[in-house]
Structure 1
Amino acid sequence: MAALTIVANILANPDKIELVKNELVKLIDITRAEKGCMNYDLHQDNENPAHFTFYENWETRDLWQTHMSNTHLADYMAATDGAVAEFTLSEMTKIG
């Protein structure tokens, strides 16, 4: 089975940028230690500091699904409730 690439875009409300950023940063080390995580990299847009992107690679979709059900993601969702204006996620496969 091919590895899974995830591109997640998070747009924070303008008055909640630092809150969202701090909560996203908390996810990095714990997620990188998870089984199947090949990389988990957080980026912040240089022109729009409210826009964050996670670029992730997982050994399998099943291992990513396990990640998605972990407590630390539920904690993030609770901590940022009402602070995120938009969230999009793409599941992708590397082709070249």
Structure 2
Amino acid sequence: MSAPYTVVAVLEAKKGKEQALESALKAVVEPSSSEIACLEYRLHKTIDNPAQFVLYENWVGKEEHQARFNKPYIKDLG
């Protein structure tokens, strides 16, 4: 069995695109956290910068995390 794999991603929306990015990120929270290999998946919006978002992902392994990029809900992000 592989070791747990954690990802912390900081994303910042372009000016005027904050709501679009927030909506897109919120749309992947439920399907991501429902993945059997997902241990934890959290989306945070920073307090001091409304254009900045932080994703905290914890997966059973790196391979399982990478495999999710083939899922339709991730491909639809573009």
TM-score range, shorter chain: over 0.9
Higher relative contact order (CA 8 A, sep 6+): 1
Distance in 1, matches of 2:74 and 2:54, equals 16
Counterpart contact for 1:35–1:63, Cα < 8 Å: no
Structure number with higher strand proportion: 1
Identity over aligned pairs, percent = 29
In structure 1, the partner of 2:11 is: 10
Cα RMSD for the two superposed structures: 0.9
Distance in 2, matches of 1:76 and 1:45, equals 21
Stretches (4+) displaced over 2 A: none
In structure 1, the partner of 2:26 is: 25
Shift of residue 65, structure 1, vs aligned partner: 0.8
In structure 2, the partner of 1:69 is: 70
| Residue segments in structure 1 that go unaligned for 5+ positions in a row | 78-96
Count of paired positions: 77
In structure 1, the partner of 2:47 is: 46
TM-score (norm 1): 0.76
Secondary structure at the aligned position of 1:15 is classed as coil
1:64-94 C-alpha deviation (Å, 9 max, x unpaired): 01112211111112xxxxxxxxxxxxxxxxx
Secondary structure at the aligned position of 1:73 is classed as helix
